[in-house]
Amino acid sequence: MNNNIFNKKDELIMSLVHYFVTEEDYSPINVRGAKNEIWLENLEAPYKIIRINSKYIHNEEQYNMDIFKLGFVVRQIKRKTLSFKMKVLNICLDMNDSVKLEEVKNINTISVNSISDLKKNKFLGELFPKIKTERLKRTDDIIKVLNATEDINKKTTKENNKYEEVFKPKKIIVTKIIIILCIIMYFLSLFISDNFNYSLLILGANNKSLVLKGEIYRLIACAFLHGGILHLVVNMYSLWIVGSQVENYIGKFKYIIIYLLSALMGSMFSLVFLGNSISIGASGAIFGLMGSLLYFGYHYRLYLSNALTNQLIPIIILNLFLGFCISGIDNMAHIGGLVGGYLATMIVGVKYKSTKSEMINGIIVYLLLIAFLTYAILKLA
């Protein structure tokens, strides 16, 4: 029995939401003050935002005002998601046929009045081929809603489980091991020789002349050495704060790779720009971990955008600024580590977000940069 509780517009809205959420990986988002509108986002899709508008638009003046309001909301979303460009698909379900749909930059508006129009729409068919075959399985209105709601809830629950897996607290092990190693190496450097600098050189301080002689291990070993107790304490505190987050969010094995690749990149930047001096410290690798959080945070920017813009980015800028103002700080290692950590995270990938092509691109860019730095070091030798 068909109860006819829902009209055709309700059925069309449910069909659209059901399709975009379950088939195209869009998620509903809350937009304050939006009535008779449904907003969906998928930051990996060609159209990052889809807006389904069921309000009646009877003339071009009302349509233009609606587009103006839409643009205002989109600008807010762009700021929140750190997006420079955002294409929007604006689907209007109740528009007077006389309204002329003018082309607006990055906003495509289509008018659809029924499910049959939806299936026949050439633009939607080319953009979302599966929409032509998407059908709710039952004809009874209540069963339609129940089935669609169940599908959407399953999809939402699956996504929530992914995010919970990524963000839930995990046991921190690797960061503790690195801190212990740095402490051991520091006290070892105190006892090897009365000449502290000589001790650092023996243990693996970064130095261009020695690296060019074949002692490549120094590019990594120097990240576990420190020049004083204050240097050690500051770096280990920073490592605990930043490293714990990277290990928790990205994983232990990936964390080790990021740390080592960041240290390597920071050491090579140091050799290019700082001549034949001695360079030591974990700060280059720590900046790499901050670069890693930048990459991770961008992929999860719907959840971490405030932390990125209000905490992480200002801390990075402040520390780089201090590095240029205070003598004795190897700021080139910081910059190299930051770049290396970003690229290293691109290489190992962010769970549920990274694609194989992104990871391959990360490998290519990292290797090209290493090759360029190697050439520069040899050229300036």
In a domain, 3, yes or no: no
C-alpha span between 67 and 90 (Å, rounded): 9
Per the domain annotation, does 1 fall within a domain?
A: no
CATH number at 261 reads: 1.20.1540.10
State the catalytic residues: 283, 334
Clarify whether residues 315 and 207 are in a common domain: yes
Asked, for residue 2, whether it belongs to a domain, the answer is: no
Q: Which of these three, 167, 190, 219, is where a domain ends?
A: 167
**pLDDT confidence bin for 138, thresholds 50/70/90:** very low
Q: Which domain holds residue 374?
A: 174-380
Overall number of domains in the chain:
2
Does 240 share its domain with 258? yes
Does 84 lie in the same domain as 179?
Answer: no
Q: Which residue has the higher pLDDT, 58 or 362?
A: 362
Domain membership flag for residue 332: yes
Instruction: Identify the domain boundary among 167, 182, 214.
Output: 167
Least confident of 7-11, 105-109, 147-151, 300-304: 147-151
pLDDT at 1: 43
Q: Of the ranges 33-37, 183-187, 377-381, which is most confident?
A: 183-187
Of residues 353 and 149, which shows the higher confidence score? 353
Buried b (16+ CB within 10 A) or exposed e, 345-378: bbbbbbbebbeeeebeebeeebeebbeebeeebe
For residues 97 and 219, state if they share a domain: no
Q: Which residue has the higher pLDDT, 70 or 258?
A: 258
| pLDDT (0 to 100) of residue 44 | 83
Domain assignment present for residue 305? The answer is yes
Q: Quick check: 132 pLDDT over 90?
A: no
Which alpha helices (DSSP H) does 105-225 contain, by range? 115-120, 122-127, 141-167, 174-192, 196-203, 208-212, 218-221
Q: What is the pLDDT of residue 100?
A: 84
Supply the mean pLDDT for the chain.
86
pLDDT score, position 372 = 96
Q: What is the pLDDT of residue 261?
A: 97
* 153 and 197 in a common domain: no
Do 71 and 189 share a structural domain? no
One domain, residues 157 and 277: no
State the pLDDT at residue 139.
Answer: 46
Q: Nearest-CA neighbor of 79 among 302, 300, 296, 293?
A: 302
Same domain, 37 and 163: yes
pLDDT of amino acid 4:
52
Q: Which of 102, 136, 167 is the endpoint of a domain?
A: 167
Residue 262 to residue 250: CA distance in whole angstroms: 15
DSSP-derived 3-state class of residue 354: coil
The answer to whether 236 and 179 have CB atoms below 8 angstroms apart is: yes
Q: Are residues 109 and 258 in the same domain?
A: no
pLDDT at 168 over 50: yes
My answer on whether 35 and 162 are in the same domain is: yes
Q: What is d(CA 288, CA 136) in angstroms, rounded to the nearest whole number?
A: 49
Phi, psi (rounded to 5 degrees) for 140: -65, 135
| pLDDT tens-place string over residues 261-280 | 999 999 999 999 877 788 99
- Residue 119: pLDDT over 80: no
The Cα 298–Cα 55 span in angstroms is 34
With tokens 């169940």, the residue in question is 150
Q: What is the reported pLDDT for 375?
A: 94
Same domain, 21 and 48: yes
Query: How confident is the model over 14-41, as pLDDT tens digits?
Result: 888 888 888 888 888 877 767 788 889 8
What's the predicted TM-score (pTM) here? 0.78
**Is residue 123 domain-shared with residue 272, that is, in the same domain?**
no
Residue 138 lies in a domain: yes
* pLDDT higher at 159 or 140: 159
Cβ neighbour number for residue 9 with a 10 Å cutoff: 14
